[in-house]
Structure 1
């Protein structure tokens, strides 16, 4: 499996935003920077899956970090985004970095000033991905 350092990858700047009456955290994504749907996100020493969708204001949002793709789609289980933000000493209004490891499939999340090395996971072909989605629900 290939390993890629963050300094050689395209990096997208996201903003931490508080959302709703409970001030839940989300990441605001620049227009056209990523597709909507569920993507793999490597953050620190953990791998998560993140739902990306258009918010009420028409902007794309990354609304959480979940343990697997099904949980991300259904927003089931623990959302690790707030823990990741707190563990990195960040807060609403700050910028975070999202590295494009495999466009449309795998990304790496890191705090400003940090470097990372990502293990590239092969993207499943469309038929296998459709079967997995059917099995997951």
Structure 2
């Protein structure tokens, strides 16, 4: 698995923000919409996050990889949690929410800017505070849909 630093030219960094949303009023990450991202990024490959509400993505925080579900509220995409496995990401009432732990450990407050590093659009992202540098273990590759798998089997 290749290791890629957050300041590598292959990593697109997008400004996101910490926001309160939902009944718990806990902080979450508000992801910019695709139009905002496209206006900020030079790379044609990363012109959007390619993630929509309900998608499960890998999210690396402090060099640990977790699973997060992309949610939508008020027309914006949100990351409300990061969990140890996909099952916990689908049913977030169980297990430790590593995103909340990370925000608390860094003293994050509503409105703070965080950087969402696009490692593999639609599949893998990194999260860090501005000024921090990290190294990611990146597994890149397209996510296959069931129809792609069926087509491969049919020849």
* Fold agreement, TM-score > 0.5: yes
5 Å-filtered alignment, 1:1-137, equals: 1-8=1-8, 9-32=11-34, 33-34=48-49, 35-36=51-52, 37-55=55-73, 57-75=74-92, 76-123=94-141, 126=144
Aligned residue-pair number: 129
TM-score by length of 1: 0.83
Question: Matched residue of 1:42: which SS?
Answer: strand
Q: Report which of the two has the higher share of strand.
A: 1
CA drift of 1:20 comes to 3.1
Larger radius of gyration: 2
TM-score by length of 2: 0.75
What are the ranges of 5 or more consecutive residues in structure 2 without an aligned counterpart? 35-47, 147-155
What are the ranges of 5 or more consecutive residues in structure 1 without an aligned counterpart? 129-137
User: What's the C-alpha RMSD, in Å, of the aligned pairs?
Assistant: 2.1
In structure 1, how many angstroms separate the alpha carbons of the residues matched to 2:133 and 2:70? 24
